[in-house]
Amino acid sequence: MRPARLVATAAAGLTAAVTAVALTASPASAAPNDPLYAAQYGPQQVHAEQAWATSTGAGAVIAVVDSGVDLGHADLAGKLVPGATFVDCDPSCGNGDWRGPDGVGQPDDAHGTHVSGIAAAVAPRGVRVVGVEPEGSRALGLALEAGAPVSLVPETRAGGLDAPYAGENALAVCRAAGVEVVTVTEEEIEAAMRRVYADAKLACEPAGAAAVAAVLGGKLRGDFVVAVVSGGNVGAEIASGILAGP
């Protein structure tokens, strides 16, 4: 069976290197079509809407100033252009690789790869990307089935997965990547959250445990499975109630 990567959408390092990431994007558009755009402070703070009238990024290069990047990472193949390293250099040395001039990688050094991946990563051939949603909040699954955003009233304790719909842009990206979707119950999410806390010593939120819930429930199979555990934004009352068990 082909390998599977599990993705649950809820998802610090030293400034050490500059890695340039080349992007491919859709044509320029001056008007957002997201009905919840007014609630998104980030794009408004950087005046993104004014920039979209000129370009949405096609052919642009992003300079990621961070801890360097894994230059051989399969998900970034064909997306990187030459970078530089600035740690213990005068003025610069190296090529922006995450291991730095000494060739030794440290755990915190992976942050630059993480950031560059958000900007430009693509799934390599043979890798399945599987989204995991609560049964009571199937925004992405319903949208993929219908071929268009579907509104719903989410019913789940996994607050990071309770979007009222999956937007057109997110749907287009998921369709292009061949994303699959499986669902898990509230009980499975809570059991996975307890398992992650007990065995991995990670205080994740319910949404962050969704991918683990799918693995534990036997809903995903693969030769090499990666479950993304992200997010710790859960109130003490909800967390303690779940961790105490049924």
3-state SS record for 60-110: CEEEEEECCECCCCHHHCCCEEEEEECCCCCCCECCCECCCCCCCCCHHHH
Question: Does residue 239 or residue 156 have the better pLDDT?
Answer: 156
Sketch the domain layout of the chain as residue ranges. 13-120, 128-243
Q: How many residues does the chain have?
A: 246
- 182-201, pLDDT tens digit by residue? 999 999 999 999 999 999 99
Between 37-41, 59-63, 145-149, the lowest mean confidence (pLDDT) is in 37-41
CB atoms inside a 10 Å sphere around CB 215: 20
- In this prediction, residue 9 carries a pLDDT of 32
25-34, 70-79, 86-95 — most confident range: 70-79
Tell me the C-alpha distance between 195 and 35, whole Å: 37
Give me 235's structure tokens: 């109130």
CATH 2.60.40.10 fits 128-243, yes or no: no
Task: State residue 95's pLDDT score.
Answer: 81
**Helix 236-243 / helix 186-195 crossing angle, nearest 10 deg:** 90
Quick check: 4 pLDDT over 70?
no
Name the residue with higher pLDDT: 25 or 227. Answer: 227
C-alpha dihedral, 152 to 185 to 10 to 157, nearest 10°: 80
Task: Say how far residue 130 (Cα) sits from the centre of its chain.
Answer: 12
Q: How far, in Å, CA of 106 to CA of 98, rounded? A: 9
Q: Average per-residue pLDDT in the chain?
A: 80
SS3 assignment, position 130: strand
Give me Rg for the CA atoms of the chain. Answer: 20
pLDDT-based confidence at residue 33 (cuts at 50, 70, 90): low
Q: What is the pLDDT of residue 146?
A: 95
Q: What is the token pair recorded at 194?
A: 């307890």
Residue 16: which pLDDT band, with cuts at 50, 70 and 90? very low
List, for residues 43-86, the tens digit of each pLDDT value: 788 888 888 777 777 777 888 888 888 888 888 888 888 888 87
Confidence of residue 236 (pLDDT cuts 50, 70, 90): confident
Tens of pLDDT, residues 96-124: 888 766 677 777 778 888 888 877 877 66
Tokens 């050490």: give the residue.
16
Which residues partner with 4 through β-bridges? 128, 225
Model pTM above 0.75: no
